[in-house]
Chains A and B, each alone.
Chain A
Amino acid sequence: MASEAKAGARWPDPAEAPAPADLARCVHCGLCLTACPTYLVTGLETESPRGRIQMARLIEDGRAELTPAIQSHWSLCLQCRACEAVCPSGVPYGRIQEHARAQVQARPAAGRAGLRVRRLALRQVVARPRVLGAALAPARRFAGWRLRGLAERVLPGRLRTLARQLPSNQGPPFRLEEAAAGPAAGEPVQFFAGCVMRELFGGAHRATVRVLARAGARVGAPAAQGCCGALHAHEGDLAFARRLAKANIAAFEGAEGAIVVNSAGCGAAMKEYPQLLAGEPGWAERAAAFAARVRDLSEWLAARPGLPRGAWRTRAAYQDACHLAHVQGVRREPRALLAAAGCELVETEGADTCCGAAGLYGLVQPGMSAELRRRKAEAFAAARPDVIVTGNPGCHLQYLAAVREAGIGAEVLHLAEALDRAWGAEAGPER
């Protein structure tokens, strides 16, 4: 969002500066502190939402330049937006943070090389399905490799974590043609398949399509769809995020029905296309119309009458994806669906606290990411669930490593996989 920064403000990229009105919303009451995972870990107010907003205000008021310290505080932010959910003044923290990152993009105070590499990778690899497919092929092969267990044992720390995060049960990548399913007279639904999900979570996608069809949807997937741009926006590459947003809006305009997405990060970004494109002439209405159609899989299912019931008697620990719970406000639906499927829900300590995956965060901030994963592992070890269910690819990968660290045998499933199994179990031979 373009904004008129104050005179004296020292923003490297004034056109993308955090809006003064957004910053002014914060009355620094401090109610966000204990919602913030990085504040809880460090005890530092510089690593809290209020502190990070204050850093932006320092620049806005001409009291400071974008220093390496300020950049590091922003960069340690998970962008989980737990603070937004508890903010009584309605500070749009996520938006402020994206525009703050845009300043880092424009003139980094430190770590220029890493930023450039990430931006290049996000633009040239993640946003291009074919390139991404080729790039992830070795990882997929490793995931299914016979000697994987052995290899994991000899890998050094960080690589071992990455290796442990790879799902082994997801089958080949998802092709958009596989989305065509469901009764001809069913309610039309357009499936959004994303980028990384498509490559690493083919199994979860196929389960999503089966579950939707089973719930009475006539599923399709526009071929021109692409990456949602969430990772780009979080990184502060707003220009590129806008390009991807426009492409997706155009791609879905010709197809009727709800746009159903099974990744919390994508869903949140797509529901926020209107604010991402607020300054783009001619896009306001189209973005609003698009966003109004977007539904998380759990939202769409929970609103359907006559869903199959299941009898899958298992202890399931649902973990809220931050961008589903804090940004989209969807907490009840996934739990209700699991309960109706027969699961015994186990609430673990910190189920709605960020797991530390947070998009690229695990790669950029491995230390904090590992600490938050350790806390999840501890909670899992205490609650001993049979399955851990979530609805976002990053979290899913993080939990695969966390259950190993916890030393428990719990299975990690996407909500769609869990429902697919539960509904199938009830139906018996149909599967």
Chain B
Amino acid sequence: MKKLVSLALGTVAAVALSAAAHAEDFKIGLSNGWVGSEWRTQMIEEAQAAAAAWKEKGHNVEVVVQSANVDVPGQIAHVRNFISEGVDAIIINPNSPTAFDPVFAQAKEAGILVIATDAEVSSPDAMYVGIDQKAWGAAGAEWLAKTLNGKGNVVAINGVAGHPANEMRVAGYKEVFAKHPDIKIVNEVNANWDQAQGQQAMQNLLATYPDIAGVWVQDGMAAGAWKSIMDANKSDQIAATGEIRKDFIDLWTKDKLNSGASVNPPGVMASALNVAVLLLQDKELKEPATAGQYGNAMYLDIPFIDSSNLAEAAKQVEGKPGYYSYTDQLSIEEAEALFK
């Protein structure tokens, strides 16, 4: 009898333990709809590493990834696959800001937490954890305005017209330059976030406007634009925004370029994952995510690299491959600090 009771107790304990262990384990789906750059690969790798780091805190976080070049319906299929798979949360770098409203509603109905990162989404059933693209654009413009002492002719090389991140970044620099009446934007072109097109665009701009003092240019296109500036032997006369890959940071250090770079770190998805795991534990945010145009955003700090901290940035990417991006993420502890 005694034996039987102890056996029963043991079973109860085991059941309770496994139930507890079960409650601590989460399955999170990561969806990426574009694999055109190493930044996206790094984004997923950092998120996977962040998930593994939760093990020390006693949580098994399993990530399942869907990452491929897909059209919008293809990425909607990603979300539907995750619903079929029965994940606890979905973190998505979305191909469209608005197209996922119905499918996110479906995910929420199935009890799934949805977080978008890198690009904001309009769905009230999702939240956004990432940087404010408008502030990102403004930060580069602030640096440029300060470096030029508030006057001079400026050109802008933008990404894909109509892409929401691009439009927000453009709105960001326009707002800043509008505050400096002596800074004149003489031309704005689109180079589709393509390094070669950025180089070509800069060449054309240099040929058209001999008196350019500043260039506002985004991401990988900056490396292309700087190539043209250096080819024209104008690197001592022009200040231009830069980018965050190791190759460029090395060039920047070596040639002492007059540059400054807003950082959109590939670690944003890892940050979103840490927030997701805390939310899945039913913890409550100190400040609910209500920022941004859709009222569902939680903005992360935007690091900025300029001559004052270039050496630190170079140190972080030392020994990494040339395409590795300078990164930053919300650690578990930093994320925990945001919760009650």
A, B assembled together = no
Chain B residues engaging chain A, CB cutoff 8 angstroms = none
Chain A residues engaging chain B, CB cutoff 8 angstroms = none
